[in-house]
């Protein structure tokens, strides 16, 4: 059984992942409007990934006999002037998510709940990737500045991103 404390924290994490999904969808819509379909695609794929993260936690709570409680999702920002701004906001947000994941890990460890610790550990590695990716796009967009050709090329690159089901869901046969 999950402890009540950990169950509550996992439910808060589900809400944070869904808030992330909503944030990236909002970014996607912002750049759809701005005429950058590749950037919009990248954020829409990110939206799906965050939904998958929430689903992994939901599946896990259910597997352990806990109860998933879906709380309201808070409002998200709706406007970013540049792609650089959006990736800076992404990095800042992902750092907060990393801190939440680390807290969950510490909690599971303190409770000697090693099954939870192992599930959370997948997210520890995932967060390294999330932060690294956001940082790499900050660097690229900083480098090109206002160069139209550069923005066009990066839009093409971001447009090539496709959604891959994260391994904890893929192995569950979904």
Which positions lie near Mg ion, rule CB under 5 A?
17, 50, 53
Q: How far is CA 8 from the centre of its chain?
A: 20
Q: Which is nearer to Mg ion, 50 or 55 (CB)?
A: 50
Distance CA 33, CA 113 (A): 46
- C-alpha–C-alpha distance, residues 26 and 78, integer Å: 6
Among residues 56 and 151, whose Cβ is nearest to Mg ion? 56
Give CA–CA dist 101/53, Å, rounded: 12
DSSP string, 47-87: HHHHHHHHHHHHHHHHHTT-----PPPPP-----SSHHHHH
Does residue 69 come out as left (phi exceeding 0), alpha (psi in the -120 to 50 range) or beta? beta
CB of 53 to Mg ion, least distance (A): 4
Toward Mg ion, which CB reaches closer, 39 or 97? 97
- Minimum distance of Mg ion from residue 171's CB (angstroms): 18
Ranked by CB distance to Mg ion, the top (closest) residue is: 53
Least separation in angstroms between residue 16's CB and Mg ion is 8
Q: How far is the CB of 63 from Mg ion (least distance, A)?
A: 19
- Number of Cβ within 10 Å of residue 19's Cβ equals 19
Q: Of 10 and 154, which CB lies nearer to Mg ion in the complex structure?
A: 10
Tell me whether residue 50 or residue 155 sits nearer to Mg ion (CB atom).
50
Work out how close the CB of 17 gets to Mg ion at its nearest, in angstroms, rounded to a whole number. Answer: 5
């Amino acid at each position: 059984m999950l402890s009540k404390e950990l169950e509550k924290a996992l439910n808060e994490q589900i809400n944070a992942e869904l808030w992330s999904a909503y944030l990236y969808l909002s970014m996607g819509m912002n750049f759809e409007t701005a005429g950058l379909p590749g950037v919009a695609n990248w954020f829409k794929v990110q939206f799906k990934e965050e939904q998958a993260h929430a689903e992994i936690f939901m599946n896990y709570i259910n597997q352990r006999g806990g109860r998933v409680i879906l709380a309201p999702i808070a409002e998200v920002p709706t406007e970013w002037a540049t792609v650089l701004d959006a990736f800076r906001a992404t990095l800042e947000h992902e750092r907060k998510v990393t801190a939440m994941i680390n807290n969950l890990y510490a909690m599971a460890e303190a409770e000697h709940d090693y099954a939870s610790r192992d599930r959370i550990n997948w997210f520890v590695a995932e967060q390294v990737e999330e932060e690294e990716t956001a940082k790499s796009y900050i660097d690229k967009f900083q480098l090109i500045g206002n160069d139209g050709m550069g923005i066009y090329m990066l839009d093409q690159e971001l447009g090539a991103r496709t959604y891959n089901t994260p391994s904890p869901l893929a192995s569950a046969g979904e």
